[in-house]
Structure 1
């Protein structure tokens, strides 16, 4: 027995030319711009919160004002993340309702379910 037979050469997978193979995700699975903006503002608030120790070290903030700013920034970031998630959920819900009203099943596959 030879060790040469143990190694297989890779073969190409057959291309699917018929059927409904999704080539890219459905357009309604991407978050809307307002949701992306709210998430970006939440990340900015988190970055500002992480920069507070540097501002204290530079003498721009006192300990008390930094503590107050930290609590405010964390609250703002939480509200913005919740708003972004809510906006995305409402967008997906509305787009599914529109697709069901148009006669599609809403899954994007054209399955007719």
Structure 2
């Protein structure tokens, strides 16, 4: 027994109803968000490298505790900033795409 579909899977309609036809919404994170997320990852990596710095004698116990708290806090703030920037970028892109397909003078049907 075989199952047959009425139409192929690649012909399914798009579920994106927020944008007008021909005006894509940019869902990719902006460059500034990628850079901020990279800095957050770098802060996490530096926090993980603290035991090596202590073993090498470059950092004392008190300095390591202070550095760990600062690096973890900084990493959290950077992750939150990157997520906020990406969210704002998607919101602006969706608003621009919706405005471009909403009619008015942009679509050539100006009644002014």
Closer, same or farther: CA 60–20 of 1 in aligned 2, 3 Å: same
| Alignment size in residue pairs | 93
- Which blocks of at least 5 consecutive residues in structure 1 are unaligned? 1-7, 9-13, 105-113
Residue 21 of structure 1, CA deviation: 6.1
Using structure 1 for the length normalisation, give the TM-score: 0.70
**Where in structure 2 are there 5+ consecutive unaligned residues?**
2-7, 16-23, 103-112
Distance 1:27 1:43 in 2: 27
Q: Distance in 1 between matches of 2:56 and 2:64?
A: 12
Instruction: Give distance in 2, aligned partners of 1:64 and 1:48.
Output: 16
RMSD over aligned Cα, in angstroms? 2.5
Higher relative contact order (CA 8 A, sep 6+): 2
Q: Which residue, 60, 63, 74 being the options, matches 1:62?
A: 60
Determine the C-alpha separation between the residues in 2 that align with 1:81 and 1:91.
15
